[in-house]
Amino acid sequence: MFTTNRLTIRQWQPEDRERALDIYSRWEVTQWLGRDPRTLENLTDAEAAIERFRSRSADPRFGIWAAERKDTGVVAGSVLLVPIPDGDGEVEVGWHFHPDSWGQGFATEAAQGTVAKGFADGLAEIHSVVRPDNRPSLAVCHRLGMTALGRTTRWYGMELEEFRLTP
């Protein structure tokens, strides 16, 4: 897919299932995801999640990708660029990282690379929607230079902070 200084952004692979389970079985990660957050419980769940992630890449502009550390080869988390469900064509950037990768700038770095890819692929704007109490992700939006648009209930059936970035 693409690289950043410290990360290789690539498709999730079936052999990543143990790391996917390690990331998405943690409530501290999944509590921020979707309307009804759930943790993965076993390797079968992780394999199904990877298959869902891979299915979001039918259009090469979009996907939910693994962010692999170049120095260790370990998947630090996921970065995504996907159309917002129930939207009017809006596209969102997002990130989900393992706690062992928090506080090291990986989410910001992965999101910067993903946003650059999106704009290079012709997107006119990219959104992010974040739960209002998810301070670390709100900080990433600010570090990306995104414009805060306030709270919205437009997507995902819940109140979220909306951000937008243009090239």
pLDDT in the model for residue 36:
80
pLDDT in the model for residue 98:
97
Whether 157 is covered by a domain: the verdict is no
Q: Which residues pair with 67 in a beta bridge?
A: 9, 77
pLDDT in the model for residue 1:
83
Whether 132 is covered by a domain: the verdict is no
What averages of pLDDT result for each successive group of 10 residues across the chain (167 residues)? 96 97 95 87 95 91 97 97 90 97 97 98 97 96 97 93 96
Q: Which residues span the domain enclosing 100?
A: 2-123
Q: Residue 89 maps to which CATH number?
A: 3.40.630.30
Number of structural domains (the chain) is: 1
- Between CA 10 and CA 3 the distance in angstroms is 9
Residues 6 or more apart in contact with residue 84 via CB below 8 angstroms: 90, 91, 92, 127, 129, 155
